[in-house]
Structure 1
Amino acid sequence: MTRLGYQIPNFTYPGVEPERLFPAITRQAVDAETHGFDTIFVMDHFYQLPILGTPDQEMVECYTLLSALAQHTSRARLSALVTGNTYRNPTLLAKTVTALDVVSEGRAQLGIGAGWFELEHDALGFEFGTFTDRFQKLEEALVIILGMLRGERPSLDGKWYRVHDAINSPAPLGRIPVMIGGGGERKTLRLVAQYADESNLICAPNEIARKLDALAGHCETLGRDRSEITVTLQTSACIAPTHDQATHEFEAYLARNPAAEVRRASTIVGDPDEVAARYTDLLATGIDGVTVNAPANCHIDDRVALLGQTLAPLIT
């Protein structure tokens, strides 16, 4: 299960040309695995998100990338954070995640969510629909995908998907954990309680207690043991050997990506002691771990390693 996950959310790095992009990504994954991160994530998007850059910035298709990273890593789990359910038929997604499990020798994880980035859907021809539509699709998809991943041959004549005796061969090498991302208290956390092994919350720290209470309530209603579910919080950090270096690197990032200014207050910036103190406070809220991205300075040598060295000792 994920206790300390490293997410790679951006692929536009100063001075890194397209032909050197994959080595720059691979270095991050290797450093993350070497220095204590148990799961490596990439985003499942085709356009860069508004809070990270512009739509025309580089985005690499996630499952192709994860399968390639599997050949350069050996221990860390590999996952999207999170797969947009709207982008793939659930039977295709089950086969794709299973293929990742096979090529990674049993290290695949399914992170999944309802999908939300309307611009991307409209531009690329994916049906977006209403909020209710997307959550209905997600639940039907989970029924199909989990059946296929767990050795069943599911059939479903649903509102959105129709499958009959869906075969998944070869089967996964082990039990593929399922993480549902988001913090919606009525819909998302109910789906977590019913279907998932892990929850990745997206919320402010002062909302964590309420989210955990909501999840516990859904578990009680469904007869699920809350302790079976691992809960992590999505975070952003910019770490460097000194406070001044970290601040300089974060400000340089904002200068390159003005849209990221909205992340100023939520990004944890500082030297190892400062970053460790902030994450210690977060872990005291009752969550089991964190997922971390570092878009400001992940391209700088040793920053991902330093982040792992700082955070791994906090996870017990």
Structure 2
Amino acid sequence: MTRLGYQIPNFTYPDTDGAALFDTVRRQAVEADTSGFDTVLVMDHFYQLPMLGSPQNAMLECYTLLSALAQHTRRVRLSALVTGNTYRNPALLAKTVTALDVVSGGRAQLGIGAGWYELEHDSLGFEFGTFTDRFERLEEALQIVIGMLRGERPTLEGRWYRVRDAVNSPPPVGRIPVMIGGAGERKTLRMAAQYADESNIICGIDEIPRKLAALDEHCARLGRDRGEITVTYQTSACIAPTREEAEHELDAAVSGIPELAARRGGMIAGDPATVAAAYEKILATGVDGVTVNLPANGHVEGRVRLLGETLAPLITG
């Protein structure tokens, strides 16, 4: 499971057009693969998120991209952070993730969530529905997808999905871990306790103990061994060899993508010592690991490697 994950959240880079885009993304994944990260993750969206840019900014379809990155990496697991359940039929999703596992030699991971980006749904014709609808759909989908990934032949006559004796052949190379993303204490963490190998949470650092306590309570009620679930915390950073370089690169990113300005205060920015100290505090809250993105300077050659070399010793001890 993920202990130190590198997420690629954006595909809008200075002086980089479509022809050169994949090479910039590939380089980030290769640096992650060779510097201590155990997972490379990309967002499952078709429009850029409002906190990272405009809907017109570049966004690559995640499973096509992950399959391509599988050919350029050797060690890291490959995952969405996280798959929007509303975008795919669950049987198709099971086949897609299985194909990723086969082409990567057993390195696929399923990250999944209920979906939330209403503009994207409305613009592209995906049914959005209510909050309750989306979580009902997620739970039905989990029953189908996990069954197919585990070699079962699930049958479900649900409100949202129907499958009958669903076959998944070829099977995955190995056991594909399941991550559920989100920090809702009543629904999301209950589903993580019931179905997942990993819970990836986004919240304030001061809220982490409460989220962990909620997950503990769900596990106790369901009879699930809490020790079977890895909890990772989603973060954003901007690292460079010196604090001045990190600030300069952050300034340049905000100038090019004004939407990043609102996220600036939440980014962990600075030289390796500063960044390491901040992540030590996060890990002291009780989470098992972190997922990290570099929206300001991940495209700068060497920055992902520097981040991995800085954080991996905190995770591996």
Please indicate, yes or no, whether the TM-score normalized by the shorter chain is above 0.5. Answer: yes
Give the whole-Å Cα distance in 2 for the aligned partners of 1:35 and 1:45.
27
Query: Could you tell me which residue of structure 1 aligns to residue 64 of structure 2?
Result: 64
Give the whole-Å Cα distance in 2 for the aligned partners of 1:92 and 1:285.
38
* Consecutive unaligned residues in structure 1, runs of 5 or more: none
Give the C-alpha shift of residue 207 in structure 1: 0.3
Alignment of 1:156-167 (within 5 A): 156-167=156-167
Query: Could you tell me which residue of structure 1 aligns to residue 106 of structure 2?
Result: 106
The residue type paired with residue 149 of structure 1 is L
Query: Could you tell me which residue of structure 2 aligns to residue 7 of structure 1?
Result: 7
Alignment of 1:44-83 (within 5 A): 44-83=44-83
Give the C-alpha shift of residue 256 in structure 1: 1.2
Report whether the alignment pairs 1:225 with 2:225: yes
SS in 1 for 2:65: helix
Give the C-alpha shift of residue 29 in structure 1: 0.1
Report whether the alignment pairs 1:245 with 2:245: yes
The residue type paired with residue 294 of structure 2 is A
The residue type paired with residue 115 of structure 2 is G
Give the whole-Å Cα distance in 2 for the aligned partners of 1:223 and 1:67.
36
SS in 2 for 1:224: coil
Query: Could you tell me which residue of structure 2 aligns to residue 174 of structure 1?
Result: 174
Give the whole-Å Cα distance in 2 for the aligned partners of 1:252 and 1:20.
20
Give the whole-Å Cα distance in 1 for the aligned partners of 2:306 and 2:27.
13
SS in 1 for 2:200: strand
Report whether the alignment pairs 1:288 with 2:288: yes
Give the C-alpha shift of residue 265 in structure 1: 1.6
Alignment of 1:139-158 (within 5 A): 139-158=139-158
Give the whole-Å Cα distance in 2 for the aligned partners of 1:260 and 1:76.
28
The residue type paired with residue 143 of structure 1 is Q
Alignment of 1:25-44 (within 5 A): 25-44=25-44
The residue type paired with residue 80 of structure 2 is A
Give the whole-Å Cα distance in 1 for the aligned partners of 2:9 and 2:139.
26
The residue type paired with residue 210 of structure 1 is R
Give the C-alpha shift of residue 58 in structure 1: 0.5
Query: Could you tell me which residue of structure 1 aligns to residue 310 of structure 2?
Result: 310
Query: Could you tell me which residue of structure 2 aligns to residue 264 of structure 1?
Result: 264
Report whether the alignment pairs 1:190 with 2:202: no
SS in 2 for 1:237: strand
SS in 2 for 1:238: strand
Give the whole-Å Cα distance in 2 for the aligned partners of 1:144 and 1:262.
39
Aligned length: 316
Give the whole-Å Cα distance in 2 for the aligned partners of 1:90 and 1:255.
40
Give the C-alpha shift of residue 266 in structure 1: 1.0
SS in 1 for 2:265: coil
**Runs of 4 or more above 4 Å deviation:** none
The residue type paired with residue 98 of structure 1 is T
SS in 2 for 1:190: helix
Report whether the alignment pairs 1:275 with 2:275: yes
Query: Could you tell me which residue of structure 1 aligns to residue 97 of structure 2?
Result: 97
Query: Could you tell me which residue of structure 2 aligns to residue 199 of structure 1?
Result: 199
Give the C-alpha shift of residue 88 in structure 1: 0.1
Report whether the alignment pairs 1:136 with 2:133: no
Q: Over aligned residue pairs, what C-alpha RMSD do you find? A: 0.5
Give the C-alpha shift of residue 257 in structure 1: 1.4
Query: Could you tell me which residue of structure 2 aligns to residue 116 of structure 1?
Result: 116
SS in 2 for 1:264: helix
Give the whole-Å Cα distance in 2 for the aligned partners of 1:187 and 1:260.
30
SS in 1 for 2:233: strand
Give the whole-Å Cα distance in 2 for the aligned partners of 1:260 and 1:117.
18
Give the whole-Å Cα distance in 2 for the aligned partners of 1:148 and 1:136.
19
Give the whole-Å Cα distance in 1 for the aligned partners of 2:223 and 2:211.
18
Deviations 1:235-268 (A, max 9, x none): 0000000001101111111111111222112100
The residue type paired with residue 313 of structure 2 is P
Deviations 1:78-102 (A, max 9, x none): 0000000000000000000000000
Query: Could you tell me which residue of structure 2 aligns to residue 21 of structure 1?
Result: 21
* Consecutive unaligned residues in structure 2, runs of 5 or more: none
SS in 2 for 1:168: coil
Deviations 1:280-311 (A, max 9, x none): 00000000000000010011110011000100
Deviations 1:49-96 (A, max 9, x none): 000000011100000000000000011000000000000000000000
The residue type paired with residue 18 of structure 1 is G
